[in-house]
Amino acid sequence: MLGGVFFIGTSVACYRLSGFGVDPFSCMNLGISGFIGMTFGNWQVAANAVLLAAAWFTVRRCIGLGTIVGMVFVGYIADFLCWMFMDGIGLSVTWMLRLVFLLLGVLLLSLGCACCMAADMGIAPYDSVAFILVKCTGEKLPFRFARMLSDLCAILIGVLFRILARGSIWEILGLGTVVNACIGGPLIHFFHNKIKGKRNLM
């Protein structure tokens, strides 16, 4: 679980260093918070609270110590790593290095989510959305497709609210956002199988 949280925090730092867009959940929250005039941090807390409540009533087993640890430490890990690379060692981020950070961000986010799920000690509120979709479809929708669906919906919501707020969608949407939405679910499923063997994520 701790390894998973560390990988997720590192992946967020990699996305930020790549400059190729944020993850789908952040894309949605940036779009909505800009439209309603609330700070990103406050809306993120509110969104997590709503998703946590939804998970409590549908997939309660997704909530645990890992949920709290992730909510508290992922941001601090990302902030520290960004500070270390940019201010500490003064890293010059070239285009090639940006692509490397993007690749690492996608891989580490998927690996981190898979580790947290395999540990079975709780996952982030947003990560539980895919499990809610799987349960609502009677487990007919495979997890990897449920994750892709939740990511794509989050992006569309973020873009829609950004347009309604008359802001630039490219401030919240980038190559990394799309890549994560398209292959994040299958990669999580792949890493989970490697860690715990082939088994249903539900």
Indicate the DSSP class of residue 64.
Answer: S
pLDDT for residue 36: 94
Contact predicate 99/18, CB 8 Å: yes
pLDDT for residue 198: 59
CA pair distance 65, 48, nearest whole angstrom? 15
In order along its 202 residues, the chain shows pLDDT tens digits of: 999 999 999 998 898 888 888 889 989 998 999 999 988 878 888 898 899 999 999 999 999 999 988 888 887 888 899 889 888 787 787 889 999 999 999 999 999 999 999 999 999 899 999 999 999 998 889 998 999 999 999 999 999 999 999 988 988 899 889 888 889 889 998 998 888 875 555 5
Q: 43, 41, 26, 31: which is closest to 165 by C-alpha?
A: 31
Distances (CA, A) of 120 to 1, 65, 130, 166, 170: 8, 10, 15, 42, 36
Q: 192, 172, 179: which is closest to 151 by C-alpha?
A: 179
The separation between the first and the last C-alpha atoms of the chain, rounded to the nearest angstrom, is 18
Q: Which two tokens stand for residue 80?
A: 């520290």
Decide: helix, strand or coil at residue 45: helix
Q: Which two tokens stand for residue 21?
A: 């867009």
pLDDT for residue 168: 87
Helices and strands in the chain: count of H runs, count of E runs: 8, 0
pLDDT for residue 79: 85
Model-level pTM?
0.83
